[in-house]
Amino acid sequence: IQLCDIKRLTTENLYTDCRHLPEYTECHVSCPPGMTFNPPTTSLYRCTVDGHWNPPVAPKCVMDSLCEQPPSPMNGGVECQGNAEIMLCRAACDPGYTFEDGFEELSIQCVRRTGVWSPTVGFPDCERKRKIYSSNTLTNIGVPTVGFPDCEHMKNIYSSNTLTNTGLPTVSFPDYEHKRNIYSSDTLTNI
């Protein structure tokens, strides 16, 4: 019996479990987690008496398609990387744009074996940055009023003389007078 070339079945992305018998060599092959055979194939390979593998072509493992790269947000881009278990994607807005919540970057991840994305599937579009409030009177109806965590980043957001909040709780704004007069309202009314 001629020996088959076992190297054909041993690659970095292919797990091989072989047993050698006097009549033949038989190997069970599998892909690492998060990968699958492409094209689909059997997992059993046998070395025939004439020294050839059956099936003759060694399988190839490719990443599962359960986690495909999400599309880029409008006015932004996406980069993904990962390993056999998780795909991590980061979206960044183009200069002058942010996501609706004010962030310039967001990240999501996908578990390859299940295809489940968290915290959400895909990315929202990026919107042009704009001055949030510039009127002399700010009336907030239906949205809680909260402070901003990054005052340096949120320069000149409030230039209002009156802030009115109708029927909702108000969380006080920290004193950022020393940080470029970010909040300069003279009156805060909570109705």
Residues 53 and 88 in one domain: no
What CATH number is attached to the domain comprising 54? 2.10.70
Residue that is last in its domain, among 63, 94, 109: 63
Q: Any idea which residue has 């200069």 for tokens?
A: 95
Using CA atoms, how far apart are residues 8 and 56, in angstroms rounded to an integer? 10
Strands (E), 51-161: 53-54, 61-63, 76-82, 86-93, 97-98, 105-111, 116-118, 127-128, 137-141
Using CA atoms, how far apart are residues 150 and 148, in angstroms rounded to an integer? 6
Overall domain count for the chain: 2
Q: Any idea which residue has 């050698």 for tokens?
A: 20
Using CA atoms, how far apart are residues 27 and 38, in angstroms rounded to an integer? 18
Question: In terms of residue numbers, what domain contains 81?
Answer: 76-128
- In DSSP terms, 79 is beta-bridged to 90
pTM above 0.75, yes or no: no
pLDDT in tens, the chain (191 residues): 357 777 777 666 778 888 888 888 888 888 887 678 877 778 898 988 788 888 888 788 877 667 888 999 999 999 999 887 899 999 999 999 999 999 999 999 998 878 899 998 999 999 998 765 544 444 444 444 444 444 444 443 443 344 444 444 444 444 433 333 333 344 444 44
Residues 44 and 16 in one domain: yes
